[in-house]
Amino acid sequence: MSSLLITNIGELTTHGPQGTVQHAAMVVDEGRVAWIGGAGHLPMTDARLDVEGRAVIPGFVDSHAHLVFAGSRAAEFAARMAGQPYTGGGIRTTVSATRAAPDEALRANAARLLAEAARQGTTTMEIKSGYGLTVADEERSLRIAAEFTPETTFLGAHVVPADTDPDEYVRLVCGDMLKAAAPYARWVDVFCERGAFDAEQSRAVLRAGIDAGLRPRVHANQLSQGPGVQLAVELGAASADHCTHLSEADIKALADSDTVATLLPGAEFSTRSPYPDARSLLDAGVTVALATDCNPGSSFTTSMPFCLALAVREMRMTPAEALRAATTGGAKALRRTDIGHLAVGACADLTVLDAPSFLHLAYRPGVPLVHTVLRNGAPLCRPSQ
C-alpha cells in the first residue's frame, strides 16, 4: 500500500498525545497514521490529499447497532408519536419479518445501512443478531453480520419469542443457539429489562457466552431502573448500553469499573422518552460512549452526527465530550485501542468534515458535513461528490 500525505488540515482532532493540532498535516502509511505535524517540512509520500482547511476527526465508532432485520415499523413509530407508549414488544414484529426474509434481503439491507452510516462518517460499526430467535435464524443473522464487521454480537436473548416458556427459551439460548452463533460472534449481549430477561436469566446467558469464548455487553436500564448495570459491572462487561434509568449506586458502580456507559439518545428521541443523565456519569468519571442503536423499532437512524447533536443539546455534553464519546468512547466500548483516535500507529480511520471545526457537528444539526471518509487510509466514501 502506498503512503499518503494529507495536507492543509484546518483543525485535526487526534484524541491522542498530540491533542488538537491547527494547520496540521498527516502521513498515512500501510493503513496507519505514520506522522503528524505542522505545515512546514512535509515528508515525501506517494500521494497527496489537500483538504483545503477542513477539519479532520477520527472516524465514528458506532458500538451499538441492530442491522440484520427485515420489515418496517414506520406505522408503529407514527402511532407512538400519536401517543402510544413504547414497550419493546414491537421487536416481535421485526422477528416475524426477519424469519421470512431470504439471506439476500437481509444482506442487502445491512449493506445499505452500513453505506448510509459510512456517508455520515462511521468507520466501525458493531452489529447484533436478535431478530431471529431460533437456532437457525440467529446463526444466519450472525453469519451475515460477520461478512461486514468483526464486531458481531450474539443477542439471542433480545426478547422471549411469542408462545414460548421464558426459562425454556433461556436454556435454548445458552445451549444450542449459542453453540451455533458463537463461531460468528465476538460478543454476547442480553436485554436485561422487565418484560425481557431478569437478572438471573441475564446472568445465565452472559455466563454461558463467556464460557463459549464471547465477551459480555448488556442492554441495561433502558426502560426502568433494574439490575442490568450492576450485572454488567459484576461480569466485567465492556459496556452497559442505554443507562437511561440509573441509581446513584449504578453510577458509582460504573465509575469504579472498566465498564463503559454507552448512551443511545436516538432511542429516547424516537420513543419520546427522557434522556440519560450524561452529566452525572461524566462528572463521576464514567467512560461514556455514544452510539446510534440503529434498529427498525426504537431508533432508526445510522447518523452519529445526529446522536452527537442530541447529546450536546439534550444531554448537556460539551461538543468535545460528545465527539470523544462517539469515537474513543465507542472504541473503548468495543475494547479496541487501534481505532477511535488518530495517534501515530492508530488505524487511519478518519473523517474530513466540510467545516473548519468539529464544533459544527452539533452547531449545524441535520446538515451533511461529511466530505471524505478514509478507513485504513483508503477512501470509504466521498459523499460530497
Q: Which is nearer to Zn ion, 127 or 331 (CB)?
A: 127
- Closest approach, Cβ 358 to Zn ion, in A, equals 26
- Closest approach, Cβ 64 to Zn ion, in A, equals 6
Residue ranges in 192-211 that form contacts with Zn ion under rule CB under 5 A: none
For residue 272, count CB atoms less than 10 angstroms from its CB and return exposed for 0-12, middle for 13-18, buried for 19 or more: exposed
Q: Which is nearer to Zn ion, 267 or 381 (CB)?
A: 267
Residue ranges in 156-195 that form contacts with Zn ion under rule CB under 5 A: none
Q: Which is nearer to Zn ion, 29 or 293 (CB)?
A: 293
- Closest approach, Cβ 27 to Zn ion, in A, equals 38
Q: Are 29 and 46 in contact (CB under 8 A)?
A: no
Q: State residue 152 phi and psi, 5-degree precision.
A: -110, 140
Joined together, the cell numbers standing for residue 49 give 490529499
Q: Which is nearer to Zn ion, 139 or 189 (CB)?
A: 189
Q: Which stretch binds Zn ion (CB under 5 A): 44-52, 133-141, 286-294, 322-330?
A: 286-294
- Closest approach, Cβ 294 to Zn ion, in A, equals 9
Residues 326, 321: Cα–Cα separation, whole Å = 9
- Closest approach, Cβ 151 to Zn ion, in A, equals 14
**Count of residues in contact with Zn ion, rule CB under 5 A:** 1
Q: Are 285 and 255 in contact (CB under 8 A)?
A: yes
- The candidate with the shortest Cα–Cα distance to 37, out of 47, 20, 25, is 25
Residue nearest to Zn ion (CB): 293
Joined together, the cell numbers standing for residue 177 give 443457539
Q: Which stretch binds Zn ion (CB under 5 A): 83-91, 113-121, 285-293, 313-321?
A: 285-293
DSSP string, 102-147: -HHHHHHHHHHHHHHHHTTTEEEE-EE--S--SHHHHHHHHHHHHT
- Closest approach, Cβ 367 to Zn ion, in A, equals 27
Q: Which is nearer to Zn ion, 11 or 293 (CB)?
A: 293
Q: Which stretch binds Zn ion (CB under 5 A): 222-230, 271-279, 287-295, 352-360?
A: 287-295
Q: Return the number of other C-beta atoms located less than 10 Å from residue 103's C-beta.
A: 11
Q: Which is nearer to Zn ion, 290 or 362 (CB)?
A: 290
Q: Return the number of other C-beta atoms located less than 10 Å from residue 164's C-beta.
A: 12
Q: Which is nearer to Zn ion, 268 or 293 (CB)?
A: 293
Residue ranges in 63-92 that form contacts with Zn ion under rule CB under 5 A: none
Residue ranges in 335-364 that form contacts with Zn ion under rule CB under 5 A: none
Name the amino acid, one letter, at 11. E
Q: Return the number of other C-beta atoms located less than 10 Å from residue 314's C-beta.
A: 15
- Closest approach, Cβ 91 to Zn ion, in A, equals 10
Q: Find the largest Cα–Cα distance for the chain.
A: 69
Joined together, the cell numbers standing for residue 377 give 487510509
Q: Which is nearer to Zn ion, 62 or 354 (CB)?
A: 62
Residue ranges in 232-271 that form contacts with Zn ion under rule CB under 5 A: none
Residue ranges in 288-307 that form contacts with Zn ion under rule CB under 5 A: 293
- The candidate with the shortest Cα–Cα distance to 30, out of 345, 339, 336, is 345
- The candidate with the shortest Cα–Cα distance to 24, out of 60, 57, 46, 59, is 57
Residues in contact with Zn ion by the rule CB under 5 A: 293
